[in-house]
Structure 1
């Protein structure tokens, strides 16, 4: 199978997009590590797999560098290596710019940007020793259009810049780094968006539908194998034509 015996870590794996990415890689032969801040949710993700014995569920707070470091160490201890990391964990809140509380700004930046940085850094340390690896970050079309809360758009734009920078630095270590930029996607996070906003977003998508988590998982799979061997440092929009880089 395409990802046979790869060790693949996915953050935000307790639900939605992250959960589907775990399932997709597991079905393609990978040994998967599901990471989430919610212990019950991540355990359910692992238990639902066809071969849960080939998986590991970890509770971690990616906004804490120490927590991320411990999680990566646990992966290496169990599987001996780390081939792929998909940084899917993210948070948001509906705040107008002028009324954004400091604590909301800090939380969104801490999880979405700082957390992605911590995960990239710790994973890359392992991958550099191996001489190979794939880092896949998840941004958002909101970072391209600015149609969203300022903290969320800023954090996701930062992820795109992080990808461009570290892809150059890590290429010599055999590590490829890319970002997927989903458009509006059917996930639990989207369920909190008012229906009026959702319908307006769909009206702006040329393909006429919201994305599904499987759309994102398939692109992650492509970026984590030799099929995409000459692609690194790229921000790849998967948004039905909603916006262009």
Structure 2
């Protein structure tokens, strides 16, 4: 069985939380005029984060590889959420595409206050049967892509003297319960965060990682119901995560309330695994 996950690669553009637009109306404007870039923004966790930050007053650059999915999502959000969201199509596994995306954000808004790296891919492969191309793609997007986005964002933030970088890993990196390429890539993201946090702190840049557990997103829709129930049974809080759960933690990490937090990997997994 080969189950491929590609954030932003489906035609599902409906908001992942049906009552999200109504909920978003009450969000405090804690990110007023902040400039935030979100990758993997066309659906799932990335879409939830875009919606949350826009509702909280941020100027949001929504980045995804799938232009149709991204544009449909951004158009719907702009029509229903108070905020300013722009769509930028980019392939985060390509350095020139990442440079162009960051440059477009700075040209549009004049600065970059936070970047939230959500985009990721994966496939289910037995270790001994993993094709080279599957390994290469997962590492290229999940780890190298995160590195490229962080590097280009850090250049802008260093010149500003401030900034916030938030990476997204996975509980699979803690438990090892997942394909080898996916677990390795997401563990690498946590190591990258620690290294960046130490090096970039003196120039005013904070770097942290959110480590989600199983989350109710379109990419989970292809998983057999039996697997879903097994995952829920392993979660002490007895439910799947929602995109909003991740968005709220990202919001905290991107605001002044977390000004003394850097280099941390924060699990948002209902107690499924501990760091």
TM-score, structure 1 as length reference: 0.98
1:30 aligns to what? 58
Q: Relative to structure 2, which stretch is displaced further, 40-49 or 50-59?
A: 50-59
Q: CA separation in 2, counterparts of 1:240 and 1:53?
A: 30
1:45 aligns to what? 73
Report if aligned partners of 1:46, 1:52 keep a CA contact under 8 Å in 2: no
Give the secondary structure class of the aligned counterpart of 2:237.
coil
| 1:147 aligned residue (151, 164, 177) | 177
1:51-200 counterparts in 2 under 5 A? 54-200=84-230
Give the secondary structure class of the aligned counterpart of 1:103.
helix
The answer to whether residue 241 in structure 2 is matched with residue 215 in structure 1 is: no
Give the secondary structure class of the aligned counterpart of 1:82.
coil
Note the alpha carbon deviations across 1:26-53, whole angstroms, 9 max, x for none.
0000000000000011112211223688
TM-score, structure 2 as length reference: 0.87
Gaps of 5+ in 1: none
Note the alpha carbon deviations across 1:151-203, whole angstroms, 9 max, x for none.
00000000000000000111011110000000000011111222222111110
Q: Relative to structure 2, which stretch is displaced further, 188-197 or 51-60?
A: 51-60
Gaps of 5+ in 2: 1-28
| 1:2 aligned residue (30, 34, 51) | 30
Report if aligned partners of 2:55, 2:82 keep a CA contact under 8 Å in 1: no
1:226 aligns to what? 256
Give the secondary structure class of the aligned counterpart of 1:48.
helix
Report if aligned partners of 2:166, 2:253 keep a CA contact under 8 Å in 1: yes
Shift of 1:149: 0.3
Report if aligned partners of 2:54, 2:83 keep a CA contact under 8 Å in 1: no
Q: How much is the aligned-residue C-alpha RMSD, in angstroms?
A: 1.0
Q: CA separation in 1, counterparts of 2:95 and 2:218?
A: 26
Give 4+ residue runs of structure 1 displaced > 4 Å after superposition. Answer: none
How many pairs does the alignment contain?
245
Q: Give the 3 Å change call, closer, same or farther, for CA 67–52 of structure 1 in structure 2.
A: farther
